[in-house]
Structure 1
Amino acid sequence: MLGAANAQQVKYTAGNNSWDADSLGNHRAVVTFSGNGPVARVIIPWRRRDAHPENKRIIIQDAQTKQKITRIKSLSLTREQGDICFEPASGKGTYYIYYLPYKNEGRSNYPQGVYLSPEQTTDNNWLQSIPASLKPNAVLKELEATDDFNTFFPMEVIATATEEKQLLLKHPGAGYLVFPEDRQYPIKMTDDLPQRWIQKGPSQSFAGQADKGEYYSFQLGIYALKDLKQVKISFGDLKAPDGKTIPASALNCINTDGTTYDAQPFSSKVNIAGGKVQALWCGIDVPASAAAGTYKGIVTIHPEGMPAMPVRLTLTVTNKPAVNSGFNEPWKQTRLKWLNSTLAQDNAVIAPYTPLEMKDSVISLLGRKVAINKDGFPAQIQTFFTPEMTAISSQAKNLFTEPAHFHFVSAADGKDLQWQHSGWQITGKDAGKISWKATNTTTGLQMDVAASLEFDGFMEYTVRVTALQDVALKDVTLHLPLDKGAAKYMMGLNQKGGLRPEKIDWKWDVQHRNQDGAWIGNVNAGLQFTLRDEHYVRPLNTNFYLQKPLLLPVSWGNDNKGGITVGEKGKSILVNSYSGERTMHKGDTLYFNFHLIITPFHALNTDFQWSTRFYHKYNNLDSIRATGATVVNIHHGNEINPWINYPFIEWKKMKDYIDAAHSKGLKVKIYNTVRELSNHAWETFPLRSLGHEVYSPGKGGGFSWLQEHIADDYIAAWFVPEFKDAAIINSGMNRWHNYYVEGMNWLVDNVGIDGIYLDDVAFDRITMKRIKRVLTKDGHPGIIDLHSANQYNKSDGFINSGMLYMEHFPYLNRLWFGEYFDYENNSPDFFLTEVSGIPFGLMGEMLQDGGNQWRGMVYGMTNRMPWSDNADPRPIWKVWDDFGMQGSQMVGYWVDNNPVKSNNPEVPVTIYRKNGAVLVALASWAKENTSVKLEIDWKALGLDPSKAVITAPDIRNFQRGQVFDKNAAIPVEKNKGWLLTIKTI
């Protein structure tokens, strides 16, 4: 019977989602019974790629009545075929046999497809009535998937064991076989050969056709008959009969070589275990100037220690110019070229930042200065932002009380080793980045310092310490002696944002805590520091942290001997990063690397806050405009942006919507980030061929499509039930970020997006700078807002969202740090540091349960339309418009000389002032209802108290309108507050 099954040509079709996949599964065999007896027998050569079909349920349905057949007997269920008997309830006719039924368990957005186990629904009498001599009397008509996206045909239809054996007999002694494959048939299986390859056979030639200027992709499928190591690909020139040439430099293999996300040459080791299949994706960047014709050349496969194999390549170039290199047709895998892109890698200064200026040992940047000491470390850091954060002044605020410095303490006598400094030298200088180096020496040690400062205030230090002889050390510490006035607040190192505790004593715990530094500062001066070594790899963020945590730095961690203390010492708040006792042997090298980020990044752009009002939902544009919103955020999971982080499939619908929005004076931003990627991405299987470069390793599972087509070794991520969009977690820093930048550039050029909405970020500042450049090119607005849920919890590694994403803050226009943030039970200082963005030059919005409207206005924050019915922001928007917030100056309660103060410290006051009027926002953090008197400096306000009136405008769902006497005790309800105007009459 097996031979007959193998010879049978099966028809594969895709239905139009004509059955309930969530109860019956995505696949069925359509069987026709034409016999006369009470038992039907059918052999189904389904060639399944899933393991252990015998452990999965079979459901049979009468096609006419849709009734479930309960009398079933599986004679055998293997990966190659199923031999099944059943009772044909309606006699002759068609029956459906569903062979991968499952049910979804878990959260709707994180489902776990559980395949149903076999069930006993048949009575023994019927089972015993089946004649042992019964021959197959039903035939397979077709194998049907719910739709084209779920079909296994042709690349997941496995070859049988017999076919594979016959294949090997034809190629005795071969170490590997090559199956060149067209781009329209991505190789999907690594443990099985597809039946298609049995039918085609291996080959040492491939032919394809491309347009002029197209990036043409194709595959070399390698079937390893024994272990292959260090497989390399080399390309020769492609030549036409008339001598025209496509040079070898125009050909590449993304699996072996390329360019990293930070523009470094990339080379990957491709090892293939015996019995496995590996797809090698190659590309030909056909020059736009190429003459039409046929080009031929050789691609050579080089496994280490084994014979090379040439593959003859023939490419026919048409006379048709490709549109945009073929990037507008991504199903042709043209965009694989983007994986090696260097677009926007130049370090050009991005507005509002200014070019770096250097005078002697001082580097000036927007609102800040850095002085370099003779050892290469910062002698002083200054900021020049006003306390109100509305401008840059000439008055400096020092961050340090003395230069930043290292201590190397001898284990022999407990004394500091004395370093000799040869000074520092500039190694690179342009408008966006200045780099320098220094060499310092002491007894038995050499310290090589490589550092840089960028235009946004990011400082990177690579500190390489080499032992010239055996050296026993009691400790190695880095001291950051902060001025007390620049160390009022803190977040990080097990601290939620707020006032800095008197003492911090922190130890490394990378397995559980995504912590390697802190931010300490004031509103207009601060510093983030993070400790790294040469092995640093960005961990997975949000609730995936524990699956790929931080690596303990060998230098700073020192087998968990290291840690950080923060506390008062003399005139400073000393940040003491220590590593503990160790011995360095001659030739040993340690990297005590660290990053410093100087805050704030720029002054507050309050006018942007008042005039830019987000509507965070796909909706009718006229309805949106009627709310007073000015920017539409298009999340994923809707008809114009259905697939998470892959906004390229329905782009024409998106463009039509954006064009219509622009005609109505609205801007449109879209959801597009990097953390997970939709399984609908055209490049899913080429990316899978890269191993763990783009996709993280994991236990698999999740939605049925992932289990059936990706199979294993992945992390299932966000799922949208309405679109059955199942995402896979990205691995971190990789070449997908190059694709991401190119994709964003394509969306600006072809769709007209006005910016992006980021839902957490899984890339670093290099990619963020590139994104900002392409989004703001040629006068595009390039608005970026960042959302994060509160990640200070066990699953996320107890990381403050602000700490995690601070390197991105220079390029954001607004924060939306709201989900799971508690607006009722946290202090004003938590609001200020973790939610508002103000100490960094940003402003924010609230989210969770609508936020707290009264407290929000102390920081200039409202809720976002139409996110919550609990806090419609439109009444407050109306107050802004009635008062005329544009051009007003925000003076927060944190400003010492705020001319309007509260006599109750639990009811802080922020004002918005302009000529002749003041809007006062006050909110209560008192445990009970209370009252407050305003202490007003009338002279500073420029108002005549005899003519001034304090009015509470009537605001729906916020406050009742009334007038207060200037000396009145204003009642304030618990957790609420007031918006008051002060004007003269």
Structure 2
Amino acid sequence: MKQSLLFILLAWLGLSCIQNSPQAPYLYAVAGNPWNEALGNHRAVLSVDNPDEAVMLSFDWRRPDQDVENRRFLIVHAETGDTIPNIRRIAVDNEQCRLVFGPVKAKGTYYFYYLPYRVQPGYGNYHRGYYPEEDAPDPQWSTASSSAASLPQATVVRVESRTEFDSFYPMEVIATENEKASYREQNPGRFLVFPEDRTFPIRMKAHLPYKWLQDADHSSFKGTAMPNEYYAFQLGVWAGKQPLQSIVYETSGLKSGNNIIPATAITCFNTSGVNPVGKPFTKEVSVDADAVQPLWFGVDLQADQPAGTYKGTIVLTDETGYAVPVGIELKVTGKPLADRGDNEPWRHSRLRWLNSTLGITDKPTVGYTDLSLEANKVSCLGRTVGLDMQTGLPSSIDSWGHELLSSPVRFIIRTDAGDKKLNGTLVPSGQSGGKISATWKAEDADLLLTCQGTMEFDGWINYVYSLSPKKDLQIKDIRLEIPMLTDAAPYFMGLGLPGQETPVNYAGGWETQGKTVHDYAVSIPTSKSTSWLWPFDSFWCGSEKAGIHCELRGATYTGPLLNLYRPAYPDSWYNNGKGGFRITRNGNQTIATAYSGERTLKAGENLAFDFALLITPVKEINPRSQFTDRYYHNGGAPTPAQENLDAGIKIINVHHANALNPFINYPFITADKIKDFVDEWHGKGCKVKIYYTIRELTNVVPEIWALRSLGDEILQGGNGGGFPWCQEHYVTGYTPQWYQHLDDQDLGIAADASVLTATGDSRWYNYYVEGLAWLVKHTDIDGLYLDDVAFGRDMLKRMRHAMDDVKPGCIIDLHSNTGFSRGPATQYAEYFPYVDKVWFGESFMYDEMSPANWLVEVSGIPFGLMGDMLHGGGNKWLGMQYGMTVRQPWVTEGVSCDPRYIWQLWDDFNIMDAQMLGFWEDTPPVTTSDKDVKVTAYVNKGKTLLSIGNYSGTKKQVKLTIDWKQLGLDPSSARMVAPAVTDFQEAQEFAPGDLIPVDLKRGWLIVVSE
């Protein structure tokens, strides 16, 4: 299997093991056995026939990377491994390397390593890079070797790469400036075009491949395709001395006799596409002077495409009208490809996924119902919104039988003359099972105000107010007010605050100064610093019964505000820092206000205020699934043992960085192995989910060079650096991200080195959705494990639709690191309709958190979800208050956190059939005599399991107050038994009126029965 995988990887990259042709000035080869990684990825094999005190080397290495003169040089004898002690550099640049080395005591073969680097085992988000330049040669030796003209010459026998994946050959062996100038003289024009096969992706932008200049005729392209294939090829544009402002193409299609491939079947991914919301767009392609711009084309062949040789022309034209025609000859032969070519990624047929609209639909996802509209009320699953017909805003919000609003929501425009009285009429503009839209318009002498409102099946409501001043208008404030019933709003989070009781008064800005560990109950390496800022654009207020999440939108990116993505805030709400947030509690009313502050609106300029409300909970919690669908999650060892199976695991998460799924976000590479794994564990009654992210992109992606050709649309720009492979091949214009060293050298790849992807209108989202559907279909996985991803709710909705279409019932669990996303329950709230389980725990300090913090920010319960613990093994006593344990197996130094013993108690008690009644209920069945000690009751027929937890920093003695009627038990015959649970508690029995000792940050599990 490993040999097969290596073969596939080589084929994807269009590389071969040994070449010697006009495509390069030397013999290029790959080492039979990879040498020590620390020596770097490249070497020249030298032959020295005349050993001497000093030997001259003239090597036209033709390298594409930067800072070639700042790398360490190392020359060793091939047989003995002896290192040449002295190297004197004469000329070192990207084109050539001339140096003298010695003393050379024996004839034979020597290895010249010119890119050695520091090997970094393990993983991280950085790499230590190359070794510095070698030490200066001994002065006496330098004097003796100064006469370079008379020295014996070393001969370059061949140029070797450590693995095929590291090779520069042939597309990164550069042409010299003189060769380029000569070619230009013979082939004048504003730009030249070089057709290229898909097996040789164009990689360099600042250099020209040497191979291109060995053939004077580049006027045509020839390829061979199969029916039903999506065929890809390239046209490389080399600009002249002047930059090209715009390159466009025209074609009338291809013909073979009476058969045609129409022009509509030919796509250039660089000039047009479909964005992630399904809208077509065009792009302007510019090319810097003397730079290379690849244009990737796709030809969509039909399944019944007749065999034949199809001919036609593609004409590339710049902004001046200068045109270069390229003849296209495509031979179609063979049987139709069943999969369009997708199972052989070297074909690049998956590039069509970039323009996919899969999953873009208004219909409800599985588990949700159609919206209903009756009079002025719109209803979705469990929730009803009453609309004020004059403003279009909610006048009432009922969530699962609980009213949230004390009065209607208000959008206020305040001037010196007071609040604008702008009343209009709500006009329906669209209705389907999954979405209802309406417009609203009003105006006065000062301005025109329009609004587009939308409610979707998951309880998400979006308003976009557009202000068009008729004259210059001085504004005192434009704000959104959400008045809530105080009893309905006991908890709050966001705007710089962790989950907590709603403050009486609070004011916050768009960015909040970093807090200490104890302020936010998270573990952050720089937690004692106050030099960093955290961005916020949303908040939530409510209870476990009903709540409102509000997001202020309008920026180009509306997903979670991770520390990697700090987009510009929306001009309307942010208003150059004048905007902010307020919370005030006064009697029975709690008002959450988002304000934008003073400004001057200029006549004729439009200003949009965009905000979204999500009514929570988005679904009913599913305790049965929580207590039966137990997770196995072990990144380095994804295969459970029999003891894990015996403990009742039902869902296996396959993380990345292991032999089954080695790369951070491209599981297609090992899809066959994943399929075998899934089949095996399905046979044992387990479901399998995999890690498949979008935030970063691994360097092994076969389409990586096509994606790079799209500029910063998919790969975010940056200053480069990071793992040497990236520096040698990407060179610049990227941002390094997650790095994972791969110890399995049979892969032929030293490390998974990812780069940051772009947000916004990136077509990689389209590709990702198609890829997800392909994975579900071809490997039969049961869903996804998401780990701090960066996209909006529309994307997750698409993903749900794509999975539902292939395999209804797929599962998504979402993990977040609060040190990375800063308040994940706020950041990811809009994901919750499409998520089955949360794992909010990394960087959370469980022993520091208040009960409100646990409930609101970690448990998932107020949103209709449940979760697991993570950091440091969690707190097993307090976690049981929310039905939470760690996942198996979980090993953390000095902490015993194996959940099997608690799981066994769950099974013995039959907790999956119990009703969960938390301490947060209006009338909990069991309370204690101390406010810091809480009780959650799991009420079963004839018995109840009590989870008692002490959140304080001191040991407590408490009495229980029990509502025996709620428990359905007779107090005169009830027993209270704490069963023995390994690493949790020793067996003990209590009487109903006993004082129960509870250690700090610990608790009890007590079974109450008759």
State if a TM-score over 0.5 links the two structures: yes
Aligned match of 2:909: 883
| Aligned residue identity for 1:96 | Y
Letter in 2 for 1:728: V
Separation in structure 2 between the aligned mates of residue 277 and residue 140 of structure 1, nearest angstrom = 29
What is aligned with 1:531? 552
Alpha-carbon separation, structure 1, partners of 2:227 and 2:77: 54
How do residues 487-886 of structure 1 correspond to structure 2 at under 5 angstroms? 487-509=489-511, 512-533=533-554, 535-538=555-558, 541-545=561-565, 549-569=566-586, 571-617=588-634, 618-623=637-642, 624-722=644-742, 724-733=751-760, 734-791=762-819, 796=820, 799-869=822-892, 870-886=896-912
Point out where structure 1 has 5 or more consecutive residues left out of the alignment: 386-395
- What's the secondary structure of 1:504's corresponding residue? strand
Tell me the equivalent position of 2:445: 443
> SS at 1:817's partner residue?
strand
Q: Which AA in structure 2 matches 1:407?
A: I
Q: Distance in 2 between matches of 1:591 and 1:269?
A: 27
Q: CA deviation at 1:135?
A: 4.6
Distance 2:144 2:751 in 1: 43
Name the amino acid aligned to 2:593: N
- Call closer, same or farther: CA 1:294–1:132 in 2, change over 3 Å: closer
Contact 1:109–1:719 (CA under 8 A) maintained in structure 2: yes
Q: Which amino acid aligns with 1:628?
A: G
C-alpha distance in 2 between matches for 1:129 and 1:749: 70
SS at 1:128 equivalent: helix
Give the TM-score taking structure 1 as reference length: 0.94
Relative to structure 1, is the Cα distance of residues 211 and 106 closer, same or farther in structure 2, using a 3 angstrom cutoff?
closer
The alpha-carbon distance between structure 1 residues 459 and 120, as it changes in their structure 2 partners (threshold 3 A), is: same
Percent of aligned pairs with the same amino acid: 39
Q: 2:701 corresponds to which letter in structure 1?
A: A
Offset of residue 622 of structure 1: 4.5
Question: So what's the TM-score if we normalise by structure 2?
Answer: 0.92
When residues 627 and 478 of structure 1 are mapped into structure 2, their CA distance, relative to the original with a 3 A threshold, is same
Q: Answer yes or no: is the 8 Å Cα contact 1:754–1:780 preserved in 2.
A: no
Shift in Å, 1:770 = 1.5
d(CA) in 2 for partners of 1:7, 1:964:
85
Q: Deviations over 1:347-386 (max 9, x none)?
A: 221122111011011011111001111234333343343x
Distance 1:407 1:95 in 2: 78
Contact 1:109 1:721 in 2 (8 A): no
- Are positions 1:958 and 2:984 aligned together? yes
Offset of 1:696 from its aligned partner? Answer: 1.2
Alpha-carbon shift at residue 738 of structure 1 (Å): 0.7
The question of 1:485 aligning with 2:487 is answered: yes
Specify which of 960, 971, 974 is matched with residue 934 of structure 1: 960
Root-mean-square deviation over aligned CA pairs? 1.9
Aligned residues: 955
How far did residue 316 of structure 1 move?
Answer: 0.8
Partners of 1:490 and 1:498 within 8 A in 2? yes
What CA distance in whole angstroms lies between the structure 2 residues aligned with 1:642 and 1:51? 29
* 1:401 alignment counterpart: 406
Displacement of 1:6: 11
The aligned runs of 1:219-618 (5 Å cut-off) are 219-225=234-240, 226-241=242-257, 243-385=258-400, 396-411=401-416, 413=417, 415-421=418-424, 423-509=425-511, 512-533=533-554, 535-538=555-558, 541-545=561-565, 549-569=566-586, 571-617=588-634, 618=637
Assess if the C-alpha contact under 8 Å between 2:839 and 2:870 holds in 1: yes
Contact 1:56 1:100 in 2 (8 A): yes
Matched with 1:388 is none
Q: Secondary structure at the match of 1:183?
A: coil
* Contact kept in structure 1, 2:503 and 2:585, CA below 8 Å: no
Structure 1 residue 570, shift from structure 2 partner: 5.7
**Superposed displacement of residue 503, structure 1:** 1.0
SS class of match (2:945)? strand
Q: Matches of 2:641 and 2:847 in 1, distance apart?
A: 35
Task: Show the 5 A alignment for 1:965-976.
Answer: 965-976=991-1002
Cα deviation for residue 60 of structure 1 reads 0.7
CA contact (8 A) 1:376 1:438 kept: yes
Aligned counterpart in structure 2 of residue 141 of structure 1, from 157, 160, 177: 157
Offset of 1:122 from its aligned partner? 2.8
List per-residue Cα deviations over 1:515-564 (Å, max 9, x = no partner): 1121111111111111123x43347853323xxx2313222222222212
Contact kept in structure 2, 1:177 and 1:202, CA below 8 Å: no
Q: Secondary structure at the match of 2:826?
A: helix
Report if aligned partners of 2:562, 2:790 keep a CA contact under 8 Å in 1: no
Q: Give the conservation status (yes or no) of the 8 Å contact 1:104–1:703.
A: no
Kindly provide the amino acid, as one letter, of the partner of residue 598 in structure 2.
E
Aligned partners of 1:472 and 1:583 also within 8 Å: yes
Aligned equivalents of 1:527, 1:481: Cα separation in 2: 11
CA contact (8 A) 1:540 1:731 kept: no
Corresponding residue of 2:940: 914
Q: 1:333 to 1:79 in 2, by over 3 A?
A: same
Cα distance between partner residues in 2 of 1:655 and 1:570: 59
CA contact (8 A) 2:207 2:291 kept: yes
Q: Would the aligned equivalents of 2:52 and 2:152 in 1 still touch at CA under 8 Å?
A: no
Q: Which amino acid aligns with 1:527?
A: I
What displacement does 1:965 show? 0.8
**Contact conserved, 2:366 with 2:804, CA < 8 A, in 1?**
no
For residue 109 of structure 2, what is the aligned residue in structure 1? 94
Q: Tell me the CA shift for residue 96 of structure 1.
A: 0.5
- Larger mean CA deviation between 102-111 and 850-859 belongs to 102-111
Given residue 158 of structure 1, which amino acid in structure 2 is its aligned partner? I
The secondary structure found in structure 2 opposite 1:238 is strand
Kindly provide the amino acid, as one letter, of the partner of residue 728 in structure 2. Answer: E
2:130 is equivalent to residue 115 of structure 1: yes
Structure 2, gaps ≥5 residues long: 1-20, 513-531, 743-749
Displacement of 1:779 after TM fit?
4.5
Code of the aligned partner of 2:772? M
CA distance in 2, matches of 1:565, 1:740: 39
Equivalent in the alignment of 2:14: none
What are the superposed Cα offsets for residues 940-960 of structure 1, whole Å, 9 maximum, x if unpaired?
211111121111011000000
Q: Distance in 1 between matches of 2:949 and 2:346?
A: 55
Contact 1:521 1:527 in 2 (8 A): yes
Query: What is the CA distance between 1:238 and its match in structure 2?
Result: 1.3
Report deviation, 1:487: 1.7
- Return the offset for 1:690: 0.7
Kept after mapping to 2: 8 A contact 1:538/1:732: no
Give CA deviations for 1:382-436 in whole Å, capped at 9, x if unaligned.
3343xxxxxxxxxx3222111111222222x3x2222132x11111111111111
> What amino acid is aligned across from residue 420 of structure 1 in structure 2?
N
Q: Is the 8 A contact 1:178 1:202 kept in 2?
A: no
- Which deviates the most, 850-859 or 434-443? 434-443
The structural deviation recorded for 1:232 is 1.6
One-letter identity of the residue aligned with 1:474: K
